[in-house]
Structures are given as structure tokens and as C-alpha cells.
Structure 1
Amino acid sequence: MDEVAGIEYFGQNDRRTDPATRLEQIGERMEPVLAQTTGFFRERPVAGGLAAAFCAVWVHRMDERAVPPIVITPDATIDLQWIDGRFRVAGPDKEPQIETPPAGAVIVGFRFRPGAAAGWLGVPAGEIVGGRLDLGELWGTRARELSDRIKAATDLPALLRQLEETIGMHTEGREALDPQMGRAFGVLDEGLPPETPLVPFLQRQLHMSERTLRRRFEDAFGYGPKTLDRILRFHRYRRLQRQQGDASTALLAVEAGYADQAHLIRESRRLTGVTPTALT
């Protein structure tokens, strides 16, 4: 078990055990819950100076009482987080990760724009897949210099202002975003036309060989086109579920791009450890 800035991290313990089994094992101690269903969670767009590399800032404050393990599901994003007085990087996930934060913990996260994390961090996303890394592991003393700019704040808004100003100083004037990969992310997020072969379609759109396409995707997102498409398709289903709550799961599955409801259920268990109905 690793402990990073007061967060017990279970996500990389035993990759031989499937996600659903890991959740059941942890659930024997205390039933795990989806991260955003416990405590206080809010997000908003970042201030203008950060928009070149980040799309949103979020705050997750845990309850003061005992906190159950929280399930972090893959969402094809990379975050720069502020926890217990230092920065850490939450890499792109391929499977659900489980963390047990202490009661009352406050986590502030800055979500990178698709295709911007590698340029801002100076490391390919493929090297941090599934990781929760202290920024110092990537930057050395530069990370401590960044953290030292954050002083004790009397309230959360004051802390957010300090964080945005500090991160903004490091972001201003830098071309972190890979525009081509940003566009590719948008295409997959929207969904391809039915029966469209994924890789050949992307090759035509981006004018790349298959080898170059995979390398660029792994550098920008942490995994290849098919894995990214799988994760984004599931989140497309979740969006449709929120928008059309009365529609049947089978219809929403097909609309999101799945072959049928059984296909959706398999992918849901693979990405979250539970069935779609357990997420509602």
C-alpha cells in the first residue's frame, strides 16, 4: 500500500485481480462508493490564464466522519492535484482505482485539457498511466519551489486563488496543448458514425500511419485509440443516461455506440467494477 500526501492508494496493488474482485475485497471492510457521491464536490472552468492547458478546477471535500473507500473510474483525463500541502499528478486510468482519504480531507484538482498534460508536465502520458505521483517525482526541486508559493489560506476561495495564480505563472506563455490530439479527442468523444472502423478513420482524419497514430495517442492520453474510444463511449452513455433518464438501458446503450445492452454491461464492469444500474 502506498501512502501519498495522506491518501491511502490501493489502485496498483495487484493487477492480476480484476477490478470487480478488488472492489469486493475492499468492500468487506467498508462499502466503497463512487468518488463524487460522498462529501462535497464542485467543479468550474479555470481562470483565463490557465485555459491554455487546463479546462476545469474541482474541489472534493470529504465528510468529517469516517470516509468509505472511494472509487475513481476511468474518465480519460489527467489531473494536477493539491493535497496536504503538495502537488501530485493523477495519471490516466484504464481501470477503477480505490483510494481511502482521511475524514475532512480537501483535494483540489486541475483537469488538463485533452492533449495538454504531456506538454505541461514534460513527460509522456504513457509513463504515468494508473499512477498517483508526487510532482516532485517528475520535476524534482521545481515541484517544491511551486508548492512553496502556496501559503496557509484562511478559507477555500483564498486557497483556490493562490493555486490558480501559482499554476498560471507556470502556464502563461507555454504551448502545452497538442492541437491535433485535442481534435482527435473531440472526434472520439462525439462518437464515430456507425460501423466505422476506428483506426483507419483516424488515420485518414489525422494523416498518420497506424504506428505514428498509436505513439501520438499514448504520448498524449496514456493509451491507444481503442482504449480511449472505449472509455469515452462509456462516458457518452453516462451523459445520455443523465439527459434521458426515462429511456431504457438497452436503447441508451445502442445510442452511445454499444452493440447491445450486454456489451454495455461488460464494459461497465470492466471500467467501473459494477453494472450500469449500480451507477444510477
Structure 2
Amino acid sequence: MVFEHIHPSPFLAPFVKKYLLLHFKVKQGNASFVKPYPPCPEQCLTFNPRTPLTSINQHTDEVVQRGACYVSGQQVSRLNLHISNDYIMLKVVFWPDAMYQLFGVPLRCITDQYLDTESVIGHEIKTVNEQMANASSYHDIITIAEAYLWQKAKKRKIDASPVAQIGQLLIKDPNRFSLDWLANQACWSPRHLERQFIERMGVSPKFLARISRFDKAFELKQQSTSLDWLSIALQTGYNDYQHLVKDFKQFAGVTPNLILQAELDSPERRLGLVTKTMATR
């Protein structure tokens, strides 16, 4: 079994932020796993080469049976992922704007959605998934994914949109930059920046900053369980505890303590694949 964040090869580093490789396998008959998955600032291509999973949107109760490979835009709702006893996944997490650049998919069309990859970026992905299903090692799975991504990257003419840099700034420090300042740096009007951001990132700059701040607060609590929630709020840019609670209720659907308890029961923690103070996003 494995739960590992992996850096991409240098030739893909401008596009791919990281890979998340995981494999859970326990004896048949054990209770199935549930992974709480609130929003974090990412756009992804995910491979489930052997066993698909079921996701349930905790805001709308929508149940989705995910296929062998899917693309996901910016998530804005909490999901519960129901995972089988023998489950392997490779998630490709892209840098801001990179998925738009590589695949030409308007991210505004897939915000909070998980779409079958064949219908979005082509049938060749089916062969890639079949190769992964028959791979003999975790290393081979990564190699197969990188070969596919490199073929895509070579065919695309990458433009120098400011969206990529601005997206990275907002994810790194969501409380520092105003919309007017960001627009000025891009030599765009605030309105044009917002339109371009929604097209290429799926949400507005302000909304991405809110998701990033929420994610940083949740991550800090996982890493520093002794910190109280007020300290977490102030360290991550919230005005006060109630301000933090408001975002947790919007993005996680519950209070901070309830989503933390659900996270502590996630499969990677139950199986001992991560340390107690390690964030899993």
C-alpha cells in the first residue's frame, strides 16, 4: 500500500505541480472506506485504472459513479469519496492555468464537476488507462502518465497569460493581494482579469483566495493539532473564529471540529500510511 506525493520529471514541472499516488488494499469483507474531500485549490486529471469510486456531494446529495479516468475543475463543494477495499489511484495536480493550456478545456465549464476524460480530451486516454491497469509497479504507472502528458505538452503552443502567475500568488498567500493590484500587474482591467480567471481557472480570483485560505487553515490544524481554532483563524488571515467557521460551513458543510474528526477517520490514517501530524491534501 502507498500514499505518496511525487514530484514530476523536470520536463513536465512547468505544467504538473505534483502527483498523488495511492493504493489501499485490505481483506475483503472489511468496511469500505470513506474519504472526506472538501475543496482545495487544484485542477486535476485522475486515473482509477482498476476500480472506480463513488462520490457523494455533501451539499446537493448528488451521487456520481466516477469512471476509470476523469478531469476535474476547481472543486467548490465537499465530497465524500467511497473507496473500495482494493483501490489504486494516480492524481495529476496541475499548476494554475496548466490544464487549460494543455487540453484547451475552458475551466468555467467544469467547475465542481468530474467529467469522463474521453468525452473531454480524447479517446487516446483509454489506452493510457489500460496500460496503467496492467502496470507491474507504481513506478511504471508514473512513467505511463508522464509519457502521455509529454505528448500533449509537445503539441501545445503555450501562451504567457498572467493567470498562471496570479493563480500561484493567490494560492501561496491568499490574503496579501487586492484585485486592483493583481489587475495592474497583469496590465488588465479588474473586470478583464476576472473574466480570464473564470475562463482558465473556473472561479474568480477572490473565490480562489477564499478556497486557498480555507485549505491552509484545515492543513495547519492537521499539522498542529494542539493549536486552537482561534489561533488557526488568526494565523491564516481570518478576522476571527466566526469568520473561519463561516468558510468551513460553506466549503466543508460542517463545523471545523466535525470535518477534522471525519478526516481523522480517512483511509490513509486508519491504515497508518501517514503520520498523525501530516496533512493529506
TM above 0.5, yes or no, is yes
Q: Does 1:50 align with 2:9?
A: no
Could you list the per-position Cα deviations for residues 24-47 of structure 1 after superposition, in whole angstroms to 9, with x for gaps in the alignment? xxxxxxxxxxxxxxx842111111
Q: Distance in 1 between matches of 2:35 and 2:158?
A: 31
The Cα shift of 1:126 comes to: 0.8
Retained in 2: the 8 A contact 1:52–1:171? no
- Secondary structure in 2 aligned to 1:241? helix
Question: Match of 1:81?
Answer: 46
Question: Match of 2:80?
Answer: 98
Counting only pairs closer than 5 Å after superposition, residues 180-191 of structure 1 correspond to structure 2 as 180-189=162-171, 190-191=173-174
Question: Match of 1:6?
Answer: none
- Secondary structure in 1 aligned to 2:86? coil
Q: Does 1:108 align with 2:90?
A: yes
The Cα shift of 1:103 comes to: 1.8
The Cα shift of 1:248 comes to: 3.2
The Cα shift of 1:150 comes to: 4.9
Change (3 A) 1:133 1:224: same
Q: TM-score, normalised by structure 2?
A: 0.75
Change (3 A) 1:174 1:199: same
The Cα shift of 1:239 comes to: 4.3
Question: Match of 2:150?
Answer: 168
Match of 1:69 among 7, 24, 34: 34
Q: Does 1:201 align with 2:181?
A: yes
The Cα shift of 1:62 comes to: 2.8
Q: Percent identity, aligned pairs only?
A: 21
Change (3 A) 1:178 1:101: farther
Q: Distance in 1 between matches of 2:226 and 2:36?
A: 26
Could you list the per-position Cα deviations for residues 153-210 of structure 1 after superposition, in whole angstroms to 9, with x for gaps in the alignment? 12222222222223222224645575511221232221334xx7x3223222322223
Question: Match of 1:192?
Answer: 175
Q: Distance in 2 between matches of 1:172 and 1:268?
A: 40
Question: Match of 2:59?
Answer: none
Q: Does 1:137 align with 2:102?
A: no
Question: Match of 1:154?
Answer: 136
What code does the residue aligned with 1:80 have? L
Could you list the per-position Cα deviations for residues 116-166 of structure 1 after superposition, in whole angstroms to 9, with x for gaps in the alignment? 111112111111111111111113334335546657212222222222223
Retained in 2: the 8 A contact 1:115–1:177? no
Q: Does 1:227 align with 2:211?
A: no
Q: Distance in 2 between matches of 1:176 and 1:104?
A: 39
CA RMSD of aligned residues (A): 2.5
Q: Which moved more, 1:206-215 or 1:117-126?
A: 206-215
Change (3 A) 1:242 1:177: farther
Question: Match of 2:65?
Answer: none
Q: Distance in 2 between matches of 1:60 and 1:73?
A: 18
Q: Distance in 1 between matches of 2:127 and 2:244?
A: 46
The Cα shift of 1:212 comes to: 1.0
